[in-house]
Structure 1
Amino acid sequence: MRDRLRVLDWRICLPATALCVVGVLLVWSSTRAMPPEGSHTHLWRQIAYSGAGLALMTILAGADRWSLRAWGPPAYLTGCLGLAAVLSPLGVTVNGSRSWLNLGVLQFQPSELAKPALVLALAALLGAAPDGERRRRASGLPAALAVAGVPLGLVMLQPDLGTALILAATTLSMIVIAGTPGRSIGLLAGGALGAAALAWWLDLLKPHQVQRLLVFADPAADPQGAGYNAIQALETIGSGGLLGRGLFHGDQTGGRFVPEQHTDFIYTVAGEELGFAGAAVVLVLLWSILWRGLRIAAQAATPYDRLVAGGIVCWLATQATINIGMVLGLAPIIGVPLPLVSYGGSSVVSCLAAAGILMSVRGEHRAAPRTHVIWS
């Protein structure tokens, strides 16, 4: 047990655990009035999810580079198969998106598994060339895009625009971190913008997705319809003032004025009940993990390690930014959970697994001499 604890990076472990505790409390508060009242079903599930995720984080923290490389292909294949299975009769539709897989005793979201799996797969591809060999990095770009395109395409078929944006942002960031020439990145960005414009022009987006994007510009245009969530979220998070109304004492939260307040809009509960100060603490805890991840990426001994750490940081940062942006009216409402805080086993376990992988990479660069920087 001591050896296992010794590999933990407490600058990641402590804020991650603290966010899980905050998440459990906020989920408890936001679901206490949900029927059947007094069952505390969501509370006990969130505790179980967090415990399982922390255990997985501890296991992954002790993994070496070779283990991560070995787990990458099976994880990627499993993630893609799960995304494909979602489109079969096993898939469950929630809020207009067929994103869940129902296995009877277990219901989970394969797209959450696809996030760390994609990071490991792209790191193996883009990190194969030693530092400085830009030509080989550019030549590996088509393969990387093909690897990213499979889960991205399957996610768009669900359709889950939020997860698709996270996967796309993570892929682009890892391509940049890999040292791909600027011309190739420019062509890729131009192609992505062209594809987005074409999708809009051909009406490939679902009606509810188009409505969310349009209402983002003016939520008051449809206050009882598509703009309701955005308006209620702003009112709820702003009602807490500096120190909040107190845990379990939020009027807006208790009245369930904000839909999905225990999942996508959990940050409104923090704003109302813990106030600006409590909501800021959540941001500080998230930022401390991201900052530590950036330091690990900067000190990585190999291109592979740097890409793994950098990809995880970009994934978590993008997801947190979109979620908080939705609550503050700075981003369209596209259904993205707040890392480690929102209710849901798939998201919590996936994010804690990412924290464990970060600690594994940190252990590798501490164990390896800096002369190994050319390793590929």
Structure 2
Amino acid sequence: MRINERRSLWRRVRPYVTVFDPALTTVLIVLLTTSLITLYSASIGIPGKIEDHLRNIAMSFFVMWVVANLSPQHMMRIALPAYAVTLLLLLAVALVGTIKLGARRWLHIGVVDIQPSEFAKLAVPLMLAWFFQHQQGHLRWHTYGIGAVLLLLPVFLIARQPDLGTALLVVAAGFSVIYLAGLPWKAILGLVVAGAASMPVAWSMMHDYQRERIMTLIDPTTDPLGKGFHILQSIIAIGSGGITGKGWTRGTQAHLEFVPERTTDFIFAVYSEEFGLAGNLFLMLLYLLLIGRGLMITANAPNFFTRLLAGATTMIFFTYAFVNMGMVSGILPVVGVPLPFMSYGGTAALTLGVASGILMSVQRNRKLVQT
């Protein structure tokens, strides 16, 4: 009788325990293991980083498990409140936010400072997926216009903090929802032309440091010991790794502190120097598998809402990886975007954990009847 009771209990709790998608979880474990190996080397001389990173990984898996247990119906119900709260927090930042390093990005609540722009990375695509789900079958030009407004409101508030990196990530995630909702190619071409035509206006509205980043990107050698120093040292680190790298913990650029922010935004430079081109190809393969699995989950999503949400979540992974590798290797401006599941940081780990949980929830509920 006890055996039957135990089996019955396991059957009851099993749906809440076995929510992790095997393929996605395997890729994440390999990525996080690679991250621990790289961070150990990058943080030599910086006590506490590995312990904190392990805590962040545990936190990431916990929120991943919580979100994976949520049904798409629950996500639809929280979409509008999450978006509204995020907008209110961004407005609060603009009015009474804490200024650090010349940017007003944080909001002091109680004993902690939070960065509401991080919430927008998930609240915006969630809101847009909810909106287009309710407009399915009645999509018109004005529908996409309303979607664009819903996207641009938080992007404007984030960009004026200023936080160009986070604004770029929110735009990528939000626009992917609008595109997957059926935005015509004519509209996309028109946006490209309009964007190109507005570049002089955008240039005049940029902050001085943003213009300097773009000019440094074009030619970092114009100020090799000043504004171009960090990106040049990063490029040297990547190139000096050669085919097979210098070996674990043997990277000179990182350990002699030529590479900036070597545990966070520039961890890819540390990895490249120590593991070389072969290591980079392995890391890119992991990201391709991660994105590919996300696209498979998107294609098999049970309804319009989950398809849009899964597609946007996958785009978040792609944008994180593409922008970080691009800025570290000198083909994109430095905008402060971490390398997903590799860089040290609690906020990014939380965001990526929620994003992974969303994909697992969509996969887990793929057999739902389409509504």
TM-score normalised according to structure 2 size: 0.90
Is the CA contact 2:223–2:229 (under 8 Å) kept in the aligned structure 1? yes
* Structure-2 change in CA distance of 1:239 and 1:144 (3 Å): same
Give CA-to-partner distance per residue, 1:248-289, whole Å, 9 cap, x none.
Answer: 222111111111111111101111122222232222222211
Report how far residue 191 of structure 1 moved. 3.9
The equivalent residue for 2:246 is: 245
Following superposition, which runs of at least 4 residues in structure 1 exceed 4 angstroms of deviation? 102-105
| Shift, 1:355, TM fit | 0.7
Q: 1:109 aligns with which of 101, 115, 122?
A: 115
Return closer, same or farther for 1:73/1:182 CA change in 2, 3 Å cut-off.
same
What residue number does 1:368 align with?
368
Q: Per the alignment, in what secondary structure is the counterpart of residue 332 of structure 2?
A: coil
Answer yes or no: is 1:183 the counterpart of 2:186: yes
Distance 1:330 1:191, change over 3 A: same
8 Å CA contact 2:43, 2:263 repeated in 1: yes
More displaced stretch, 189-198 vs 153-162: 189-198
CA–CA distance in 2 between the matches of 1:263 and 1:60?
25
Q: Is the 8 A contact 2:96 2:107 kept in 1?
A: no
* Residue of structure 2 equivalent to 1:328: 329
How many pairs were matched up?
A: 359
Equivalent residue letter for 2:311: G
Higher relative contact order (CA 8 A, sep 6+): 1
2:45 aligns with one of 33, 39, 43:
33
The Cα of 1:153 is off from its aligned counterpart by 0.7
Partner amino acid for 2:288? W
Distance in 2, matches of 1:170 and 1:250, equals: 35
1:332-347 alignment, distance < 5 Å = 332-347=333-348
Say which of 12, 29, 41 aligns to 1:17. 29
Counterpart position of 2:360:
359
Q: Which residue of 2 aligns with 1:62?
A: 69
C-alpha separation in 2, matches of 1:22 and 1:113: 27
Work out whether 1:78 is the aligned partner of 2:85.
Answer: yes
Q: In structure 2, what is the Cα distance between the partners aligned to 1:126 and 1:355?
A: 22
Q: Aligned letter for 1:141? A: Y
User: Partner residue of 1:124?
Assistant: 130
Letter in 2 for 1:145: A
Distance 1:291 1:30, change over 3 A: same
**Distance in 1 between residues matched to 2:246 and 2:92, nearest whole Å:** 44
Whether the aligned pair in 1 keeps the contact of 2:97 and 2:104 (CA below 8 Å) is no
Give ranges in structure 2 of 5+ residues lacking alignment.
1-12
Determine the structure 1 residue equivalent to 2:6. Answer: none
The answer (yes or no) to whether the contact 2:97–2:105 under 8 Å persists in 1 is no
Which residue of the partner structure matches residue 37 of structure 1?
none
Contact 1:115-1:167 within 8 A present in 2 as well: yes
| Distance in 2 of aligned mates of 1:192 and 1:155 | 19
Would you say 1:164 and 2:176 are equivalent positions? no
Deviation of the 1:311 alpha carbon: 0.8
Report 1:272-287 matches (<5 A). 272-287=273-288
In the superposition, the TM-score normalised over structure 1's length comes to: 0.89
SS at match of 2:134: coil
Alpha-carbon spacing, 1:209–1:294, altered in 2? closer, same or farther (3 Å): same
Output the CA distance in 2 between the equivalents of 1:21 and 1:328. 23
Shift of residue 105, structure 1, vs aligned partner: 4.3
Q: Does 1:311 align with 2:312?
A: yes
Q: Is 2:100 the counterpart of 1:99?
A: no
- Please give the residue correspondences for 1:123-162 in structure 2 after superposition, counting only pairs within 5 Å: 123-130=129-136, 133=137, 136-162=139-165
After superposition, the Cα gap between the structure-2 partners of 1:352 and 1:192, relative to the gap in structure 1 and judged at 3 Å, is: same
* TM-superposed deviation, 1:88: 4.5
Q: Give the distance between the partners of 1:256 and 1:137, measured in 2 at CA.
A: 54
- Residue 264 of structure 1 is matched in structure 2 by 265
RMSD, aligned CA: 2.1
Distance 1:20 1:204 in 2: 39
Q: How far apart, in 1, do the equivalents of 2:308 and 2:209 lie?
A: 35
Return 5+ residue gaps in structure 1 as ranges.
35-39
CA distance in 2, matches of 1:86, 1:281: 40
CA distance in 1, matches of 2:32, 2:348: 12
| Mapped partners of 2:320, 2:140: distance in 1 | 27
Shift of 1:291: 0.5
